[in-house]
Structure 1
Amino acid sequence: MTLLLAMIRHPSDTELVDRFKEGDRTAYTEIVRRYQDRVYTLAFRWMHDDQIAREVAQDVFLALYRALGGFRGDAKLSTWIHRVVVNHCKNRRLYRRRRQTDLHEPLEGRRTDDDVPARQLAHDGPGTDAAIHRSEAEALVREALEHLDEEQRTIIVLRDVEDLGYDEIADILGVARGTVKSRLHRARATLAKVLSRRIDQRDVI
């Protein structure tokens, strides 16, 4: 009985999509409630601007409303939403790049399991004040990520920021799992080189 009540109160994404297709618009409201924080957070980490992140989130959920009736479930709803956020952010960045020569859109990194995560690339080691060091390291990573190309920045934010699995990233980007891993390895290597130069410059200063 408890399990049945839990299923009623917390329907799966598939159930919500089916209800929407049957005319239940409250299902769309539930999907928005379920994903709004995640969409905003991802957009903010891409754009590093609160207002633009909110606009991207609005655009994403408008696109979701228009497309949900034809959603076939070839990929998970969460994967599809991530893909739409990434595409909207890329379009926004491209638009801004065309309008200005100096673009500052920092991101931040987090964990991984088979290579050095982006955040740790700027770590100087133990012995420093944890809070101050973490703040400085994250600032270095944000600055360094500005020097990565779009492909490298995308793979870093999906894996090290959003902590998505390789298979889901592959679905979002439309590439093979092995391609995701090789791109991530190259992106982290590039980031490490940029960080190394910036740390050296900071030490000189």
Structure 2
Amino acid sequence: MHGALDLDALYQASYRRLVVQMYAICGDLVEAEDAVQEAFVTAIRKRRQLEAVANHEAWLRTVAVNRLRSGWRHAAVVRRLQPRVPGSQAAVEVGPDHVALVRALAGLDAAGREVVVLHHLADLGTAEIAAELGIPEGTVKSRLSRARARLAALLDEREEWERA
């Protein structure tokens, strides 16, 4: 590719091939897709560096493989240190109600989801949330109100869908 690098064309030409290669390396399709996506995000951030290399796909492949290796190193550290974490090591049980709640929370905007979780799951008051997030308490209250209304609607939709 001479001249300006066309990232869209590069993506179209190499995304699938890179995912297949990363999948063959790691054996996990989601992890492979994440690695390739992160390689393209890095390409956007480091466009000049990418433009300077002769083989753009090889550069992306190197970034994706490095991402996989980094993940493996992190997982090894977690496995090694996990026994030292205080408290019970029992797996958390996740029932259908919890899954439904998490799915409904995903339907909220990030700001709303954050205040709902801090208020209802972390048991923080609105003043504590405001201090933690560095925003006015009134903003916390309005976000909480809007998020609760949206959450109620999302959970009602779920119940209607299950009855159908």
Scaled to the shorter chain, the TM-score interval is 0.3 to 0.5
Which structure is larger by alpha-carbon Rg, 1 or 2?
2
Which has the bigger relative contact order, CA under 8 A and spacing at least 6?
Answer: 1
Higher helix share: 2
Q: TM-score, normalised by structure 1?
A: 0.35
